[in-house]
């Protein structure tokens, strides 16, 4: 097995080599004197992926490439680059992969709009669920007023048998037996 996967181990070796660099996340000597720029650098570097660590931001990583990128980022901030320009610079060299926040574009629409779409679909399903099984007023006894209910709940301790089943339930149930 060891022999068959040799290339993988070599690659892993290459990656580990970089990880063994001397730095430990942000080092004192990297930081900018300008507190505002430094704060911006920290925020930005949390959104940039450390490429050799597989899944860490350069802000958290001790890899030497991460350190190089942190230094580069700060240099560009000092030169007056905007956040946008810095991200563009990195993407041009490393691709979208370097951004921990995926850019909004055609290939990521499904990613960004998927979750809200699911949420909306689920809401629609919920509305259908309640519309299709209208709860007739007669089937559900009117609620007790707040005080009554509280007292009842306290007395009954929320026992499952405390709420008698409405008559419709039993009828439904009959039809359920296979």
Judged by CB under 8 A, which of 33, 80, 84, 178 binds other proteins? 178
Of the two residues 37 and 100, which places its CB atom closer to other proteins in the complex?
Answer: 100
Q: Are 52 and 66 in contact (CB under 8 A)?
A: yes
CB of 80 to other proteins, least distance (A): 19
* Contact call for residue 167 and other proteins (CB under 8 A): no
CB of 27 to other proteins, least distance (A): 6
Contacts of 52 (CB under 8 A, 6+ apart): 15, 18, 19, 61, 63, 65, 66
Q: Are 153 and 160 in contact (CB under 8 A)?
A: no
Which residues inside 7-66 make contact with other proteins, applying CB under 8 A?
7-8, 10-11, 13-15, 17-18, 22-28, 31, 46-47, 49, 51-57, 60, 64-65
Of the two residues 82 and 172, which places its CB atom closer to other proteins in the complex?
Answer: 172
* Contact call for residue 99 and other proteins (CB under 8 A): yes
Of the two residues 80 and 116, which places its CB atom closer to other proteins in the complex?
Answer: 116
* Whole-number Å distance between alpha carbons of 95 and 99: 8
| Residue 117 token pair | 């779409």
* Contact call for residue 3 and other proteins (CB under 8 A): no
CB of 82 to other proteins, least distance (A): 18
* Whole-number Å distance between alpha carbons of 171 and 75: 75
Contacts of 25 (CB under 8 A, 6+ apart): 59, 60, 61, 62
| Residue 7 token pair | 């290339």
* Contact call for residue 138 and other proteins (CB under 8 A): no
* Contact call for residue 80 and other proteins (CB under 8 A): no
* Whole-number Å distance between alpha carbons of 58 and 66: 5
Of the two residues 84 and 130, which places its CB atom closer to other proteins in the complex?
Answer: 130
Q: How many residues make contact with other proteins (CB under 8 A)?
A: 96
């Amino acid at each position: 097995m060891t022999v068959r996967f040799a290339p993988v181990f070599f690659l892993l070796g290459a990656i580990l080599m970089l990880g063994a660099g001397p730095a430990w996340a942000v080092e004192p000597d990297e930081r900018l004197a300008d507190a505002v720029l430094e704060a911006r650098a920290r925020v930005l570097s949390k959104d940039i992926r450390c490429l050799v660590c597989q899944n860490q931001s350069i802000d958290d990583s001790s890899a030497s490439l991460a350190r190089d990128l942190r230094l580069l980022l700060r240099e560009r901030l000092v030169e007056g680059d905007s956040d946008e320009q810095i991200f563009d610079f990195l993407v041009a060299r490393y691709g979208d992969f370097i951004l921990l926040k995926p850019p909004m574009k055609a290939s990521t629409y499904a990613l960004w709009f998927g979750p809200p779409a699911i949420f909306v679909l689920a809401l629609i399903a919920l509305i259908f669920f309640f519309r299709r099984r209208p709860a007739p007023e007669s089937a559900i006894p009117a609620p007790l007023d707040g005080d009554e209910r509280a007292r009842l709940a306290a007395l009954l301790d929320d026992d499952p048998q405390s709420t008698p089943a409405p008559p419709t339930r039993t009828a439904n149930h009959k039809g359920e037996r296979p």
